[in-house]
Amino acid sequence: MDDAVSRGRDDLARLVAIPSVSAEGRGLNEAATLVRDLLDDAGFVTEIHPGSVGPFVVGTAGEGPLTVVIYNHSDVQPEGDAALWLSPPYTLTERDGRLYGRGAADDKG
């Protein structure tokens, strides 16, 4: 596996491991801090701001005529009964070439 892909998978696993459930007020600060740290490591200048649901991260990279906005959220719905999951909800798990974990595809991805 290519280093960048491996690093991206490791970063996703770290994000999935955070039970950031806004409806229960848990994990939101931890998720924002990790997103900030990942962007900092990539060379962005970052800030965490309070939001109505939870904190959000703004990262900037240099000056120029181009602006790119990426909207993503790190909060997930409550996991419900863990016994109904095929794998632990907050553990990134590969099955048949696909990655599973709470928020792995739409929220934290």
Higher pLDDT, 51 or 109: 51
pLDDT at 52 over 90: no
Q: What residue has token string 């039970």?
A: 19
* pLDDT score of 49: 93
Does 32 reside within a domain? yes
* pLDDT score of 71: 75
Does 106 reside within a domain? no
**pTM of the entire predicted model:** 0.87
How many domains are there within the chain? 1
Does 109 reside within a domain? no
The span from the CA of 97 to the CA of 23, in Å, is 31
* pLDDT score of 86: 94
pLDDT at 109 over 70: no
Q: What share of the chain is helix, strand, coil (3-state, %, to 5)?
A: 30, 15, 50
DSSP 42: T
Does 42 reside within a domain? yes
Q: Give mean pLDDT, residues 76-86.
A: 91
CATH of the domain at 77: 3.40.630.10
